[in-house]
Amino acid sequence: MDLRDSPDEAAFRTRVRSWLEGNLPAEPGPDWSRKIFDAGFAGLTWPEEYGGTGAPYSHQAIALEEFAKAGAPNHMNVIALGMAGPTIMVHGTEEQKQRYLPRMLSAEEIWCQGFSEPDAGSDLSAVRTRVEPRDDGFVVNGQKVWSSLAHLADFCILVGRSDPQSERHAGLTYVIVDMHAPGVEVRPLRQITGEAEFNEIFFSDVEVPAENLLGEIGGGWAVAMTTLLHERGTLGFALTGVLDAQVQRLIALAKERAADDPIIRDRVAREWVELQALKLTNYRSLATLMQTGIPGPEGSGSKLFWSEQNQRLTKLAMEILGGEDDGYWGYQQLRSRGNTIEAGTSEILRNIIAERVLGLPRSR
Ligand SMILES: Cc1cc2nc3c(=O)[nH]c(=O)nc-3n(C[C@H](O)[C@H](O)[C@H](O)COP(=O)(O)OP(=O)(O)OC[C@H]3O[C@@H](n4cnc5c(N)ncnc54)[C@H](O)[C@@H]3O)c2cc1C
């Protein structure tokens, strides 16, 4: 694979760079997301009829790299763009695609993900929230937890149990829930960073119309797997771009505070080397994606390495600072703790890599 930009990719990279130079926002939010959409940089790979630009995946990767390099915040509708949208594109009806996809890109409607429950995290097949089929749709009862953006969301992709007698992967149904419907209650959860990015959601007799079903009744597991593949598969580039910027910042800090310390020099060099390996692994995933259109299980490797490296390097930065909080690295270290839990814990990702990438026997 030739890793240099083609003439078309180079021209696109220049366009993104010069747009960012003139448009960097004072703060992230819906206005910035709208601006990204108006400039044609949201949903780059999505079909034009749904508000995208039908560009190749390489353009998406370039845009993510350049945004991260410029320190520009990403589009705020991360769950819509990375998970709900791609899932609707695969399993949704034409009406659903037209109704939801363009407004995800313009950030007119924000989405959250209602998968995890108090007793179902790594093992999603243990979900107990009821999605009870009725003549004209479904009634949802139960509780979800750790739902990022739920306090701002208009819609939720939710997996629940439609057959109360069923066990594990069978009897699950995947629906789109209107977060403004009667019976939906969102309670924010505060994280170690002091922010409240995620929430508990309580559903009490929430009515969901029949047209909000995604896939088949009882076929929710297959739909959920599409969501998870995209969650891990597309995360890599965005996050590696951010990590690249972090490594550059770490190098600057080491030059300023510990340039003569041979052990620190060694450890900083290791982080740079690991970053290069991660970038090359991402290019390999990109090649699979460009050939098949589906993210492969290798995305789990990128997510695992990225999240563990991010924790290691924020810890190293704090060591160089001698525990002093400069207002940046302290926050980054606290936030990095959640990275090895969200979108699959490190243990779960190692299981996936062992079984699905390396073909080792199943662990259970
Ligand atoms: C910042 C953040 C944002 C999140 N956003 C969302 C969201 O928007 N929507 C959503 O639905 N969820 C979200 N989550 C939840 C996340 O998906 C779960 O926390 C995660 O899947 C782990 O589940 P759990 O917390 O229930 O831990 P558990 O599954 O109870 O795991 C506890 C420990 O046991 C280990 N473990 C479990 N099973 C195995 C196994 N088979 N083999 C080896 N070890 C195992 C785990 O690795 C972990 O260390 C978010 C989490 C975080 C931290």
Q: How far is the CA of 305 from the centre of ligand 1 (A)?
A: 17
Tens digits of residue pLDDT in 244-286: 999 999 999 999 999 999 999 999 999 999 999 998 888 888 8
Query: Which pLDDT value is given to residue 65?
Result: 87
Q: In this model, does residue 233 exceed pLDDT 80?
A: no
Which of 79-93, 295-309, 330-344 is predicted with the least confidence, judged by mean pLDDT? 295-309
Which are the contacts of 310, defined by CB distance < 8 A and separation ≥ 6?
Answer: 239, 243, 246, 332, 336, 339
Q: In this model, does residue 337 exceed pLDDT 90?
A: yes
List, chain by chain if needed, residues with CB within 6 Å of any ligand 1 atom: 112-116, 121-122, 146-148, 198, 338, 341-342, 345, 347-348, 351
Which are the contacts of 140, defined by CB distance < 8 A and separation ≥ 6?
Answer: 129, 130, 131, 132, 158, 160, 175, 177, 183, 203, 205, 206, 208
Percent of the chain exceeding pLDDT 70 equals: 99
| Closest C-alpha to ligand 1, atom 40 | 348
**Buried/exposed code over 341-351 (b: 16+ C-beta within 10 A; e: otherwise):** eebbebebbeb
Burial class of residue 35 (count of CB atoms within 10 Å of its CB; 0-12, 13-18, 19+): middle
Write phi, then psi, for 148 (nearest 5 degrees): -65, 140
Q: How far is the CA of 200 from the centre of ligand 1 (A)?
A: 14
Nearest atom within ligand 1 for CA of residue 149: 8
Q: Determine contact, residues 155/111, Cβ cutoff 8 Å.
A: yes
Q: Which two tokens stand for residue 268?
A: 């900083």
Residue 34 vs residue 240, higher pLDDT? 34
Q: How many CB atoms lie within 10 A of CB 268?
A: 22
* Distance from C-alpha of 234 to C-alpha of 238, rounded to nearest angstrom: 8
Query: Which pLDDT value is given to residue 267?
Result: 97
Cα radius of gyration rounded to whole Å, the chain: 21
- Once rounded to an integer, what is the mean pLDDT over residues 203-217? 98
Q: In this model, does residue 320 exceed pLDDT 70?
A: yes
Nearest atom within ligand 1 for CA of residue 120: 26
Q: Determine contact, residues 246/312, Cβ cutoff 8 Å.
A: no
Q: How far is the CA of 171 from the centre of ligand 1 (A)?
A: 22
Q: Determine contact, residues 46/89, Cβ cutoff 8 Å.
A: yes
Query: Which pLDDT value is given to residue 234?
Result: 64
- Once rounded to an integer, what is the mean pLDDT over residues 188-212? 96
Nearest atom within ligand 1 for CA of residue 116: 11
Tens digits of residue pLDDT in 100-151: 999 999 999 999 999 999 999 999 999 999 999 999 999 999 999 999 999 9
Query: Which pLDDT value is given to residue 44?
Result: 93
| Closest C-alpha to ligand 1, atom 50 | 342
Q: Determine contact, residues 170/150, Cβ cutoff 8 Å.
A: no
Write out the H or E segment, with its range, that includes residue 175.
strand 172-178
Q: In this model, does residue 237 exceed pLDDT 80?
A: no
Query: Which pLDDT value is given to residue 247?
Result: 96
> Which amino acids are annotated catalytic?
231
| Closest C-alpha to ligand 1, atom 20 | 121
Q: How many CB atoms lie within 10 A of CB 261?
A: 13
Query: Which pLDDT value is given to residue 285?
Result: 83
Q: In this model, does residue 295 exceed pLDDT 80?
A: no
Q: In this model, does residue 198 exceed pLDDT 90?
A: yes
Nearest atom within ligand 1 for CA of residue 364: 41
* Distance from C-alpha of 140 to C-alpha of 175, rounded to nearest angstrom: 10
> What is the SS3 assignment for 109?
coil
Q: Which of 79, 345, 360 to mutate to test the pocket of ligand 1 (most atoms within 8 A of CB)?
A: 345
Q: Which of 122, 300, 331 to mutate to test the pocket of ligand 1 (most atoms within 8 A of CB)?
A: 122
Tens digits of residue pLDDT in 113-124: 999 999 999 999
Query: Which pLDDT value is given to residue 11?
Result: 97
Query: Which pLDDT value is given to residue 235?
Result: 67
Query: Which pLDDT value is given to residue 353?
Result: 92
